[in-house]
Structure formats: C-alpha cells, structure tokens
Structure 1
C-alpha cells in the first residue's frame, strides 16, 4: 500500500486536429487493410498510453534541449570538479553565464546540465555506467526527462515518475442533417468526470440531445447512416475543462450498446496507392486502405505522478514535471502522434493546462 499523498492524478483532455492513425501492425482481411488500435473490451478506438508517453518524452527532451543547450557546461569542465562521482560533480557544476532561468524554473534542475536529445527514444548505450557518460551516451540518467520518464543504465535503472493512461474517446464527431454533432454515452461522461452522477440526468436507453431551448423537444436525427428518434433532456454535463472546444448543443447522448457501432461506422477511411517513379502511374497491386480517428474527436485520459522524493534523493519536484509537460505539449499541434504524420495525420491539441490545478486533480491510493 502506498501513502495516498504520494500519488497525484491529473485528468487530461485532448482534441484531434487531424485524423489520428495508430495502427495495429500488418494487414487485415476486412473493410480496411490497415486497422487502428481499439480497446478490446469496448471495441472503441483509442490512443495507447505508450504512444502518448513515447512522444511526450521526445517533445520534453526537444523543449528542454532547445532552452538550455547554450548554457550547459562542457563534460570536461564537469569532470574536472572535485567529487566522489559524476552525480556529485554535476550538482556542484555551474551553468554558463547569463543563464536565464531561476531556481523555481524546471529548466534549472541540476541534472539538465547534461541533457541531450538522446535522452528521448530508446537508449542506444544501456551498458554505459551512469557515472561514465559522455557527449554521446544515450540516456544521461540525470536530467528531468530521464528522471520523469525512466531510464536504465549498466549500474542503475529507475522507473519514471509519470504514468500515462490510454486516451479514450469521450466525444466523437458524426455528420448529421443538422450539422456535425458529437456523440457520447452516459458511461463515458461519468468515467471522464464531466457528468455529475449524484444528480438525475434523465438518460437511459434512448438517443438524447442535450437541451438548449424549448423547441423541437422530440424528433429524429441521423448519426451517419443510422436514423434515430431523439428526445431533448437536461443533463449535468460540465464542459469547462474542454476549453470551449464544443458547446452543449453539439452533444448527442446515445445508449451504451450503440456507441461502439456508431463510432466504428463513422471512422475516416483513406485509400492510398504507391506510385511508380518511372512511369508516374500506380504500381500494380499497391492499393491499400487505412482507417483513422477523425479530426474533432475529443479524448480523455489521466497522468499520474508518483512522488518518490521520500525514498530517493534529488528527484525533480512534481511542479517541475508538470510544468515541463505543459511547456512541451505544443509539439502535438505540429508534430503530432501516431503514424503517417507527414501525410496529413496525427496533430492533436492537449486542452488541459497541466501546470495549474483543475477539476481532474486528485490524490488516490494505489
């Protein structure tokens, strides 16, 4: 049992700016050749936590190195300092003159003096000792990126301080004759923490609009090619954490047993073909299709921070780690997540402000 004050849960929300493709690998016989990752229980597509953690590590390293590289002391200078090991020498090393960050900034974490872009990705020199690092040593094992996301060297390994859940679909855009609507279910709203389950929400097995006026309280609506009767009802949905991404009038609540079918019937499908560079025409037998989560989809998930500062010395503060994640999340809006990001896929906006307390913060036992 872990002291519940050691673990901080932060709920996060994100919105797809492009179609997002995270494939299962290989080809499949069926509607499309390249299928995307799905939750095996609900069959609803998702962004795996491993994809989120891997890209965020890279973006954190990218942001860190871009900020401190001009102020880092050389390895030669660090090793010339008196100390029993490299870690103690690093602690006493000085940043170069005019270092623009103060002690309350995450960039000033002492281990960042040896941070490199190779602190992201797979460590290409895991057999190096943490006290025997050089300019090209894979993960340094000292910087805030290595400490936050984890590393493994010859003489020491450490699990990361941050844990990423899968990003699950909360609100899914579907074309209707009344314009684009975002479908969801009562279960998804409750799990994401945006529906007050202590109050009566007047939804059960039918299709419901969230009420915004008194007109047309009943009627019919098409969700893609499916046609349903609907009823407008009042619910207790809190969209404040979505930073204005959609409005209540855009939401349609569907039954739990329909949400998966509607989502999977309205995925984006791209058809691609390989071009022969000599003839400029399509290659024989090189036509393939890929499915993707469409742009506009809103996801929810969770980042957990495990504070082990009482167990291990010189770890970065929780505030430093979340500020690092906040400052680096902007790269999702340009470099994206998943596959085919150079071909119009992958961009995503993280809506949650990670360096501020929000309704998703909580402390739980684990």
Structure 2
C-alpha cells in the first residue's frame, strides 16, 4: 500500500451550496459565503469536506461516536476503527492525527445564463490544473484578448455571459477531460457548452451570477414572519463543477481492515470494501450526494455528486518530472 498518494475529485452541485462566513456584513447580501482571499472566487473549504466525509463515514461504519471532536465514547481499541485511523482521534490522553489531507474545492466550471441557453465558464489555467487538455487548431488559447471568449463549439456572433457581452474568438477549442470523467453522464451533458475566459474576468462573472435568496425568520409562537427579520444569503448555484484534492500521508502503515466489507457491528458495509484510508474518504464523499455539505441543509441546500472516479497521481509519477527539472536547472 502506498505511503503517499494524491487523488483529485470532480463534484457537481445538485443544489445550491452555502458555506457561510459565520456572520453578517453590509453589502450585496447579509450572509455571505467563503471566498478565496486573492481572487474573491467562492470555494468550499477543505474543513467542510473533511467534517462531512468523516461524519458520513462514521455513520456508514455504524460508529457515529467516531465523528466529532472527542472520541471518548468509541468502544474497543480506537486505533482499530478505520474512521478514527483515517481522520485522527482524541480519546483521553491518546491522541493521533489523521492520515489524509483534504483540501479546498475550487470552482472549475460555472453555469451562466446566455442568449444560447446555459453555458459553463472556466479559464485555461483552471482546466489545465485539473488535468484537462485544451487545444485550438490555429490560435493558442493564451493569445485570446481579455474581451474575447473561446468556445468549444462553432459560433461567430458575440456571446453574453449574464450582463456581460463578449466577442468570440475565431477558432474553436478542443477540450478533453481526464478519462475518469469524460464519459460520465453529468459531464457529457455540458461538455459541448464550455466557455473559456481570461482570469481577469472569471471572478466578475462568477460573483455576478451567484444564487441569492431572501428569507425571513418565523416567530415560533405565532407562526408568522418576525418583523424586521428579513435577510438575504448567497450560494454557489446548482450544476457548478468543482475539483478538490485529497493527499494520503499514511505514515503509520497500519490501516485496520480485518473485515473490509463489514461495519463495526459486523453488518454488511454499504458500497465498496474499505481497504485503505482513501476508501473511507471516498465513501464519505459519496454520501454528500444524499446528505449535503454546508449550511441551509433543511432548506434544500448542500448536495453534491461525485463525478466518475478520482484521478490518482502517485508520488513516483511526480518525482521524475521534478528531477528532470532540477537537472535542467543545473545544466
């Protein structure tokens, strides 16, 4: 079993997703969502994914006490619980960190209304960082002007992205997804409607097309709206595609799997057997399609579907490139 491994997951939001900042602010909405500090592009923090994956995996394993911050109620040898082994645990004086690092989920393809219907907006950098291959027969995507968009279908007239009207580059782009994702039904449905824009515009387009809702607090005694309790909140809209990475750092090499297809109560484990920590993470991620992540869950927010399988990169695949780069620098 590998000590180090990196996996990249592709998600699609089935509902709006609201990961709040934890307070109110004056501005466009009262309850804002988490954003990247430099670009102001919304994201789903790795802490939110980590907490959801752990909680759902603990439920699947029939040891809900393995979730949360304290694990004093976990019976038996806590090191033999695959959820605690994967995500870490604190039981009295027995403290051990987890063996997986779950990173933020970043927007890859963002849905925007246009005169030709919904299109999905991305940038060249985001696509290539996620393992996509982008080519154009005559013009390199990097040569397009800021006020131009590059499409992967044929069109010559200007295209609007919400309120923004942009010219269309003369050439058509070819976009190829990693094999693990390209044949998935949800991705194939939007794969011919992708618009590539410059980084300078991406943040403006995303923040101008977030879902914004208005709600009001209800007085529990009267069942009517509380006066003066109207508030607004924003969310990443439905059908947004995001990528997130998980890195395995199994420094202990002692994953407990005497019965990988059984729960802690010796019942059949739903889904695939748990043969390694990444199997535990994957099982937790799959349950997000049912139970969601983030806030406003009882209002129909939060569900995300995992698209296809994860793209795995072993550390042995990275080192030769780094060594070759170092050799070139020394020369």
Deviation at 1:320? 2.4
Deviation at 1:195? 2.9
Deviation at 1:160? 0.8
| 1:134–1:17 distance in 2 versus 1, CA, 3 Å | closer
Offset from partner CA, 1:71-90 (integer Å, 9 cap, x none): xxxxxxxxxxxxxxxxxxxx
Structure richer in strand, relative to its length? 2
Q: Is the 8 A contact 1:47 1:168 kept in 2?
A: yes
Which residue of 2 is the match for residue 261 of structure 1? 204
Q: 1:270 aligns with which of 213, 223, 226?
A: 213
| 1:352–1:232 distance in 2 versus 1, CA, 3 Å | farther
5+ long unaligned stretches in structure 1: 66-115, 126-132
Secondary structure, aligned partner of 1:24: strand
Deviation at 1:236? 4.5
Deviation at 1:231? 2.0
TM-score (norm 1): 0.73
Structure 1 position 211 matched with structure 2 position 152: yes
Q: 1:361 aligns with which of 306, 313, 327?
A: 313
Q: Measure, in 2, the Cα distance between the counterparts of 1:238 and 1:154.
A: 51
Q: Is the 8 A contact 1:210 1:232 kept in 2?
A: no
Which residue of 1 is the match for residue 254 of structure 2? 314
RMSD: 2.6
Deviation at 1:325? 3.0
Secondary structure, aligned partner of 2:24: coil
Matching of residues 39-78 of structure 1 within 5 Å: 39-65=36-62
Deviation at 1:334? 1.5
Q: Measure, in 2, the Cα distance between the counterparts of 1:315 and 1:247.
A: 39
Q: 1:21 aligns with which of 18, 22, 25?
A: 18
Structure 1 position 123 matched with structure 2 position 63: no
Q: Measure, in 2, the Cα distance between the counterparts of 1:299 and 1:279.
A: 42
Which deviates more, 197-206 or 163-172?
197-206
TM-score (norm 2): 0.80
5+ long unaligned stretches in structure 2: 258-273, 323-331
Deviation at 1:339? 0.3
Kindly name which structure, 1 or 2, has the bigger radius of gyration based on alpha carbons: 1
Which residue of 2 is the match for residue 250 of structure 1? 193
Deviation at 1:262? 0.6
Q: Measure, in 2, the Cα distance between the counterparts of 1:298 and 1:198.
A: 23
Structure 1 position 145 matched with structure 2 position 88: no
| 1:134–1:172 distance in 2 versus 1, CA, 3 Å | closer
Which residue of 2 is the match for residue 98 of structure 1? none
Q: Measure, in 1, the Cα distance between the counterparts of 2:83 and 2:68.
A: 11
Secondary structure, aligned partner of 2:141: coil
Secondary structure, aligned partner of 1:248: coil
Deviation at 1:275? 2.3
Offset from partner CA, 1:123-173 (integer Å, 9 cap, x none): 164xxxxxxx764x9x93430000000112333322211110100000000
Q: Measure, in 1, the Cα distance between the counterparts of 2:44 and 2:3.
A: 27
Secondary structure, aligned partner of 1:338: coil
Q: Which runs of 4+ in 1 moved over 6 A?
A: 197-200
Count of matched residue pairs: 293
Which residue of 1 is the match for residue 271 of structure 2? none
Q: Is the 8 A contact 1:170 1:184 kept in 2?
A: yes
Deviation at 1:177? 1.1
Which residue of 2 is the match for residue 72 of structure 1? none
Deviation at 1:277? 4.0
Q: Measure, in 2, the Cα distance between the counterparts of 1:118 and 1:160.
A: 16
Which residue of 2 is the match for residue 287 of structure 1? 230
Matching of residues 94-109 of structure 1 within 5 Å: none
Q: Is the 8 A contact 1:196 1:236 kept in 2?
A: yes
Which residue of 1 is the match for residue 161 of structure 2? 223
Q: Is the 8 A contact 1:219 1:231 kept in 2?
A: no
Q: Is the 8 A contact 2:32 2:234 kept in 1?
A: yes
Which residue of 2 is the match for residue 190 of structure 1? 128
Which residue of 1 is the match for residue 261 of structure 2? none
Q: Measure, in 2, the Cα distance between the counterparts of 1:247 and 1:27.
A: 35
Which residue of 1 is the match for residue 33 of structure 2? 36
Which residue of 1 is the match for residue 6 of structure 2? 9
